[in-house]
Structure 1
Amino acid sequence: MVQELGLAQPAHLSTNGLNIARVEALLAAGEAKRARLMAMALAGQHSGSGELQLLLSFACLGVPGASEDAVRHARGALALAGQPGGPSEAKAQLALGAALDASTAPGAGLPNKEAQRAQQEALRALEAAVALAPDDPAALYSLGLMQAEAGQLQPALQHARPALPWALAALVLSAQRRGALAADAAVAGLEAPGRHAALLQRVLGRILLHQGDVEAGLAAVAAALAMLQGRGAAASPAEGGPGTQAASQGNKGAEAGAAARAWCELGGAYLGAGRPDDACFCLCGARAADAWSPPVHALGAQLAAAAGDLPAARAGLEAALAMDAAYTPAAVALGRLLRQPGAAQDLTLAAAHLAGALRVRPDSAMAWSELGHVRLAQQRVEDAESSAVGGAWLLSGHRAWVACLVAVPVAVWWMLFLVLYPRAWREYVSSLPADQLEGREV
């Protein structure tokens, strides 16, 4: 990500070029927390560095709960933009727009009015970034994505066209439940020349799997994995100084992480298709690419659960959460595992994991659905109903409707019973002959 943003090493920090490159490499590899710590240490030595302020802003974006710090550092970078050794104004505006957008997420806790003001300022910042750098794909894509989330589909596609046109079109159409058109958009993108073939293959695979075309979906995900592996094998060995070598290592780490995620996606698809042997092969490939990533442990837990080894499944999911407490799929899977009847059932802990997942991803229909099941098992019908309805609204046709269809009739039945039973009893008693009322309490 950082390399695509075109961050350059500031001239006045040439002696610390290796450290700057390490921060960028950590960001590129997805190690936002470590990148933030290293950048903070460097910023303490060079407090007037706008480039470090920019790096800190992007690093904070990858740390849950650090959106306010991201905004603060982005404003600092913007104040130093254009000065010797400082970032370009376009990059600073991009960082500010991304940070403000992150601060308006549902879990950030901003009041509605403040969130609206932040969104408006974020749009202005991204528009300024695009005006300053009209060919910058990161600025174009960020603006297009924010407009798409706001429902402004035409300007979203217009701004994203130079960056990720077909991928964004496929994602927007998929979100509109227009699966066939989304798949066509992904296929059209693959036929056009571009740098994003692997991403398009993964998008196409997910769309096809969601539509029930398992074989075609598996083939698309496998093709994406082959592209990622080929790209990693074609990478030339690092040359140049230590800063270049560190950046190259960061790129290799990012490629390995992407390959591991693709292996895990393919393994999960195979497991869902009832092919556990192929899923095990994918798990081996994921471990070879990046053994210490949460998706790899989560896939191992899925395989263990499918084999009936629930303790191993629980241990794998807990290991994934230990690596990344904000990894929502592992939290949801652990909540599902702990709500199952049996010796390992722990409804309280299951509810805690699912609530934690919803704090990170309040838009997760699966988490709402599983929480509804847990509340039903706890005989908390009203809470189950609200959880199920929330999940059903988020993802129409999902399993959340199952909990909704169970919880809502039960709640309605109890309401009718409490309201109508006393009236029916009084009407029944009043209809009895007087001689039958002796000894009855009305």
Structure 2
Amino acid sequence: MTVSIKRLNASQSDFDSELAKLLAWDDSVDHQVNETVRHILRDVKTRGDQAVLEFTEQFDRLKVASVAELEMSQRRLQEALKAIPETQRAALEKAADRVRDYHERQNQKSWQYKDEDGTVLGQKVTPLDRAGLYVPGGKAAYPSSVLMNAIPAKVAGVGEIIMVVPTPDGVVNDLVLAAAAIAGVDRVFTIGGAQAVGALAYGTETIPAVDKIVGPGNIFVATAKREVFGTVGIDMIAGPSEILVICDGKTDPDWIAMDLFSQAEHDEQAQSILISPDAGFLDAVEASINKLMPTLERADIIRISMADRAALIHVADLSEAANVSNRIAPEHLELSVEDPEALLEEIRHAGAIFLGRYTAEALGDYCAGPNHVLPTSGTARFSSPLGVYDFQKRSSIIGFSAQGADRMGRVASVLARGEGLTAHARSAEYRVKSHE
């Protein structure tokens, strides 16, 4: 069964409206989901451990006497690391090394300077005390997500990382636990859903409250993160996965088709877009899509994603391709062209940018080094990949000398009185020498 991919041409009169339709995604949350999540969060906030136990039994069919029984020991994490095949362990360790090396280069330092009258100004960078990491469980196994979220927190100097992962029917995924061991996660609780988010946000008798919650989850987890934002920080509310490929028409069309599939296989709402000035190449890639799709294990998901949300866009040249890409601000952007560095100069908005024909987006998902937690749904226009800076905060340092307080106190006085805030003004004026 062939799939007909939507075709757009940047020169057509209705291109803007058609592009808007293509990108439209309903991120509204079902009223019932909202109510369910709010009920769970209220219950966890007020009843703590007991609520967590009841929801874990209800949703994960896991009955235990105490939340303490849901905590995985460090010994258990090490056992998981020993239990997985050596090839998997080696791959996890290599990926972790690259992720750690990249993020160590992001580490911010505190700084200070003195101005001409001896006043000290600066910035103090401090890590969060505690971070919470949500990891999907059940049939899903995302050890790469553990590495990408936990390692930047460790590099930032976070005091304690608390991981939560659901284990429906008590089924534990050793690959996820092994990744937690490699990444240095401090505590792991086998709970999930909105109740896990609530426990991390508010704290219970057994699970400590955290300062920030990161990591992907289903609609209930995403809704819960949205609800607790303000009590704690969160990384982002992620939409469906996205990939945009700009190609000059000289890359193997099978390669490009498979790159598009790499995001389409996530779920039916994922979006895969190819932009090229070569109309014949668009035809060739569409042929590859229909040739290769039946060979894939997740073909049913990919078929729906490609039919509903994919597009092949014809442009006049690579410069116009960059312009269209900037309007889309994709999560993942591949520059599969002869001179990617030159085209990079024209790219302003993208979560991660992959340079050249040999740089498959999948490498970035697992082992390139940069973080795979990226802004989606056009939010790359104003936000960035997860990084060390997301687990650090900055405090301003201000230390006036007597001379500085005299000089700048006069300025503050004028501005404060202009705003009608006389206590502000008088507070500054007390340090002005003529006031003495």
Q: Same fold judged by TM-score > 0.5? A: no
* TM interval, short-chain normalised: under 0.3
More strand by share: 2
Structure 1 length-normalised TM: 0.22
Task: Give the structure, 1 or 2, with the largest relative contact order (CA under 8 Å, sep 6 or more).
Answer: 2
More helix by share: 1
Structure 2 length-normalised TM: 0.23
